[in-house]
């Protein structure tokens, strides 16, 4: 990030393919960093009768993160959003993530972490999820890529800022407050 780039909010229109220039990672095209950082939006149809099972996983993941707050740290996440919706063509599941690294790079980390925290199990309730997901990284990758809906516009109020930078800024603020206390 260049100096003070964060100070000027930015929007970026993105071509239909999801990238400006095709550049391959280990498993396929890389989606670019935008003012809202890297991310994905995965939309998949839910298998009939599985809504409750998916909703219950909300609690499982809440507990997993509570038990080990740093469990997802390697993924450099900002936010994950999970949504269930039905616009008349059946129940769909939307999984949206915003993070600071290209998805392709840490894909195996993501799959391993999702497995260990129980996140992946929720995908078994979705149409087209590969049966051999525990061992077949390329198949899981293909599933994510097949269901990825790239944004056509992204906006950042503080563009390109990483989660680490935000956490450092907050820590700095806290340290300064403490310093002022000691100065009294």
CB of 37 within 8 A of CB of 1?
no
Tokens of 158: 């503080």
For residue 180, give both structure tokens. 């002022």
For tokens 């780039």, name the residue: 5
Collect all residues with Cβ–Cβ distance below 8 Å to 142 and sequence separation of at least 6.
Answer: 130
Where helices occur in 38-106 by DSSP H, the ranges are 51-67
Contact letters for other proteins, residues 29-68 (x by CB under 8 A)? ----------------------------------------
- Give the whole-angstrom CA distance, residue 60 versus residue 162: 27
Question: With CB under 8 A, what is the number of residues at the site for other proteins?
Answer: 27
- Give the contact letters, 135-174, x = binds to other proteins (CB under 8 A), - = no: xxxx-----------------------x-xx---------
Does 121 bind other proteins (CB under 8 A)? Our answer is: no
Which of 74, 90, 118, 128 is the binder for other proteins (CB under 8 A)? 74
109 touches other proteins by CB under 8 A: yes
Find the part of the chain contacting other proteins (CB under 8 A) among 7-15, 59-67, 101-109, 149-157. 101-109
CB 113 within 8 A of CB 145: no
What residues make contact with other proteins under the rule CB under 8 A? 23-27, 70-71, 73-74, 100-101, 105-106, 108-109, 112-113, 116, 132, 134-138, 162, 164-165
């Amino acid at each position: 990030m260049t100096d003070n780039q964060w100070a000027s909010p930015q929007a970026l229109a993105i071509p239909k393919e999801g990238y400006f220039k095709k550049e391959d990672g280990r498993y396929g095209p890389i989606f670019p960093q935008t003012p809202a950082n890297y991310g994905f939006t995965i939309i998949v149809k839910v298998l009939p009768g599985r809504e409750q099972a998916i909703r219950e996983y909300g609690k499982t993941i809440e507990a997993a993160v509570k038990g080990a707050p740093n469990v997802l740290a390697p993924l450099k996440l900002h936010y994950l959003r999970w949504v269930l919706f039905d616009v008349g063509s059946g129940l769909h599941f939307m999984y949206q993530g915003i993070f600071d690294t290209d998805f392709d790079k840490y894909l195996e980390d993501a799959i391993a972490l999702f497995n260990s925290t129980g996140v992946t199990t929720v995908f078994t309730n979705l149409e087209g999820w590969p049966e051999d997901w525990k061992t077949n990284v390329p198949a899981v990758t293909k599933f994510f890529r097949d269901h990825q809906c790239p944004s056509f516009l992204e906006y950042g109020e503080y563009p390109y800022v990483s989660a680490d930078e935000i956490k450092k800024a907050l820590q700095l603020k806290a340290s300064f407050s403490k310093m002022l206390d000691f100065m009294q």
